[in-house]
Chains A and B, each alone.
Chain A
């Protein structure tokens, strides 16, 4: 690659008036791919170059309005749908209170979007590999000179004519700008192993630090002081009480809320005679019964109560609930088995409350009826 590829011809001017004239002439001649470089924006240059008005305003408008709308919808969903809590007697969706946040989100989203669009989409920056970089021309226009650069890509480009045109305009310094080798062979740095390694390193570092912070640091002093307070925990020892326990037994005769003592413990027959199912048979109650049966009973008794355990022999299979014996049991007798257990079946009192047990009894009756239907059921 010895032959240099021409990027553009550049001319440097001393005064703002001269560069405006030059820009006007160049655009009149019909050049399209040219650019003016000035250390600061010059009034009237956009007109001289015949540039159409910037469209960035539309970006701000569209993104700003979408930001406003998303803020409104999100706040509506968060405070009126997903987490509805009445605060200060105001309606769940209180629009006036949302106005400040909607405004802030609008400004934030529109500003960020406009700037990012300008830099990365309109200007295609960052680009430090442009042919103009690292030239004497760039040094001049960055400080106090005004330059124009006509690109070789332009359809009308002709070395001699361009040179002549720049001379006519009164350029003090006309130079040709060539691509250098690096710029021709320029590849995206994003795919370089170094850069990917850097990304990986950052990802590892961030996740490591987050893990350490959330799982270790927050359990160290003083961050855990809300949890570790100077008070007696139920399981800790105590010097206050004679028995050395931090936990106290409730006063004798205390019963938990909703608890009723079961009078037929060890008396299945008495229970079968005296206990009557207080619940009516309704769809709702059968649904509850089915749910509880499927959760707590079906692992051993099977979904249909046939004793087809899903425990694969780890536990002996119970007899079928469709046997003559069980079918003729009263509701109270079945209730007793659930409450007190039978053979190796334990009590299910800690899993099911009284009403749920009765609902399960109803459901078992439904299962039995389904497998041994009466004549009348078939009609």
Chain B
């Protein structure tokens, strides 16, 4: 591959394209009729979504006895999937908020898409706690509202913190996303030819006028939102980890959980963004907007967070030995050598070993290889949650209550279906909204900012 000089700041968008051509390119998927490939992809995801619906219908009709959950493994696929999907969401906010605060301009090409993925991933994740309560039509009881029972929620429970954290995360991500979309709706409104489209875009653009008196406040709000979203994204997975860490189950009751979960979330999120973006840039010809340089930078983040996760695995073992707590020591031996050793070693292979290949520059810049590695990371991160949730529960303090957990076909239907739910939204998103931020990309093209020669 080409030689890259890292000492120079790279152009974010390759080849200095005219601004209008960027608009044309980004708005194109919205202005042409979807092709056959789109319908094929949509039919696949809708079939998966169908499985989801059937799985949920079985669950609601017969109860969660349809799942493989048993006593003591009361949390299984439902919570594994929840943590997995919340984690996927973290990449989007990291890209849109944290990288914004660090002035990483390369984020502009991928920010909109990653934020969209955050929203869809959190929507998918939110389904799981809601269905795992067994009677989801009473989910309103999770919120503290004045009621005829005279009862309030328990504010000392991590599960309640979770309700607040995930719903806040969803709301703030949605606001952040919409604020970013307003100028693009304005551009689309000006481009729209049909009357119906014009009305829709006018409504959503709120009559945005590209006025600098507005941009002035707009940039301030963007900064404030980024400032809020940064601690928020760190808090969400921290609180998700509290669901485990605040309990006393060996293998859960550890202080390393919050940073370890956040690193893992960013790791898996970037892998998912990588997978989907590689497909998007190919299909829509965005190779010069979402450049190989951008993908390489994402690989570097995956390398860093992957190493952090690997370090956390090692540290858990060290503490299990160093603490001298018998139950803790046993749990970790059990993870690596017990009945779920297969899951543990899948996790280690995918999460610790595979991202280490990114030390090699050639691999880091090769699109097909990084695509495969990203898939490995996604698989590995799903298994990480499986290992944490299931192995710890299946063998805790009392050997008399040990049991092996086996998922049922309904569990798999819901797992596959959750991917269907997520990718259906992704597909509709690519046809309904600009998947790259028009205003932001235009602002980082070479020569699009004043050169300040006279200052």
Contact = CB atoms under 8 A, between A and B. Distances in A.
Contacts of A218: 137
A94 B156 contact: yes
A82 interface: yes
Interface in B398-455: 438-440, 442-443, 448-455
B76 interface: no
Contacts of B186: 142
Interface stretch (B18-26, B109-117, B249-257, B268-276): B18-26
A147 B186 CA distance: 16
Contact of A78 (B152, B202, B214, B452): B152
B218 interface: yes
B440 to A, nearest CB: 7
A38 B215 contact: yes
A83 B152 contact: yes
B215 A41 contact: yes
A128 B228 contact: no
Interface stretch (A49-57, A158-166, A252-260, A290-298): A49-57
B361 interface: no
Chain B interface mostly: helix
A139 B325 CA distance: 69
Given A57-B224, A83-B152, A101-B161, A112 B19 contact: no
Interface string A108-120: 1011101100110
A106 to B, nearest CB: 8
A108 B172 contact: yes
Contact of B212 (A36, A115, A132, A143): A36
A33 B175 CA distance: 31
Contacts of B194: none
Contacts, number: 205
Given A41-B219, A51-B216, A226-B135, A111 B175 contact: yes
Nearest to B232: A107
Nearest to A51: B216
Q: Is the interface on chain A under 10, 10 to 19, 20 to 34, or 35 or more residues?
A: 35 or more
A41 B211 contact: no
Contacts of A119: 206
B450 A40 contact: no
A35 B214 CA distance: 10
Interface in A207-224: 218, 222-223
Contact of A222 (B61, B217, B220, B438): B61
A281 interface: no
Given A39-B210, A41-B443, A83-B150, 9 more contacts: A56-B217, A60-B224, A94-B156, A101-B160, A101-B161, A104-B232, A115-B179, A123-B217, A143-B20
